[in-house]
Amino acid sequence: MNTELVLKTGPYRTTYVGTEIIRQSTKEEWENYGEILRRVDEAKQWAIGDWLVDGKRHYGDGLYKQAENLLGIGYNELARFKRIAEQFEIRQRCLNLSYAHHYEVASLKRIEEKEDGTLELSEQTDTEKIQKFLSDAEKENISVRELREKVRKYKEEQREYIRLANEPEKYTVIYADPPWQYTSGDQHTDTTQETVIGDHYPSMSLQEIRMVPVNKMAAIDCVLFLWVTSPLLEESFEIIRAWGFKYKTSMVWDKIAHNVGNFVSVRHEFLLICIKGQPPRVSTLVDSVYQEERTEHSKKPIYFRNLIDELYPNGKRIELFARGELPENWDKWGNE
């Protein structure tokens, strides 16, 4: 085997053991050689992938184990190199885009219709869409990060298109303020508190709240905003699981004015944010704490519903246990 690897341009000559400086470089020559070295690293990823494709074709048995020993690269990385190289023939690779650009678009799939008439993402890659993304990225000089964001948004649009076709009447946003029941004699309340709460609206037991058919209302990809007071925080997770959601994070409404309580004077309430499936990610991060003095019993600030509309502008939305009139774009369910 030839033991000399030579990469030479301008004042630089690189071999297996390093880069020799032949003469003083200009700033432009220095920058150009850095770009060459970057592209060499990317070329290596393509080259290893092509090498693995050829090896699998002719010498398949034990291919990855041999490659791991030769290159010192783990199985998962090797498998990725091979998969991307197989997916993009050399004529489909964009010279002016990085390997990472190709990797970001490689997972795009077609939408297909199943036998029962519903839609789903197929296992078949969407070659035309992939080439369109790469072509646009090349023309517009899009960075890998920008391309990743465009691909993410496109996938969300695909999921929403499929959901609307398969579940046109289901909700992607659910906003719930259950009439939690406080039990006399335990840490949650006392007789006076229970009477005050009961005077405003009939409460529901945990079992009754659990049985609300939220899982039948919710779309495959759905976000739930659930109000709960501090004493019932632990119990609320039973409801979240029963409704088919996973807890993600929370917001706090600081009511400013103090309230009743056994251990502390409670002036806040939690708005738990939970998801089912893969609802769209929000593009704007908002403060998790909001201050507004409470008014009439149980009435929540309009700020939160407006915020939900801002963060999740698309899809059907419903408020459970709604009290009062709602905007036209909201449905409501429950005893007012």
Q: Please provide the DSSP assignment of 157-190 as one string.
A: HHHHHHHHHH-TTSEEEEEE---BPPPTTSTT--
**Stated pTM of the model:** 0.59
Query: Does residue 195 have a pLDDT over 50?
Result: no
Task: Report the side by side order of strands in the sheet with 330-333.
Answer: 289-291, 246-254, 268-276, 218-228, 171-176, 317-320, 330-333
The confidence score (pLDDT) of residue 311 equals 93
Predicted confidence band of residue 223 (pLDDT cuts 50, 70, 90): very high
Nearest to 243 by CA among 260, 258, 263, 223: 223
β-strands 171-176, 317-320 pairing: parallel
Q: Please provide the DSSP assignment of 20-58 as one string.
A: EE-SPPPHHHHHHHHHHHHHHHHHHHHHHHHHHHHHHHH
Half-sphere exposure of 15 (CA within 13 A, CB side): 7
Distance in angstroms (rounded) separating the CA atoms of residues 117 and 120: 10
Mean pLDDT of the chain: 86
Poorest-confidence range of 120-129, 165-174, 239-248, 289-298? Answer: 289-298
171-333: CATH class: alpha beta
Higher pLDDT, 40 or 292: 292
The whole-number average pLDDT for the span 47-66 is 87
pLDDT tens for 241-276 read: 999 999 999 999 999 877 766 788 788 999 999 999
DSSP code for 315: S
Q: Which of 55-59, 129-133, 298-302 has the highest mean pLDDT?
A: 129-133
The confidence score (pLDDT) of residue 247 equals 98
pLDDT tens for 114-138 read: 888 888 999 889 998 999 999 999 9
Predicted confidence band of residue 196 (pLDDT cuts 50, 70, 90): very low
Amino acid (one-letter) located at 95: L
CB burial class (10 A; 0-12, 13-18, 19+) of residue 246? exposed
pLDDT tens for 61-104 read: 788 888 999 899 999 999 999 999 999 999 889 988 989 999 99
The confidence score (pLDDT) of residue 100 equals 92
Query: Does residue 281 have a pLDDT over 70?
Result: yes
Per domain, the residue ranges of the chain are: 1-87, 96-166, 171-333
The confidence score (pLDDT) of residue 113 equals 86
Distance in angstroms (rounded) separating the CA atoms of residues 232 and 180: 8
Higher pLDDT, 207 or 106: 106
Amino acid (one-letter) located at 285: L
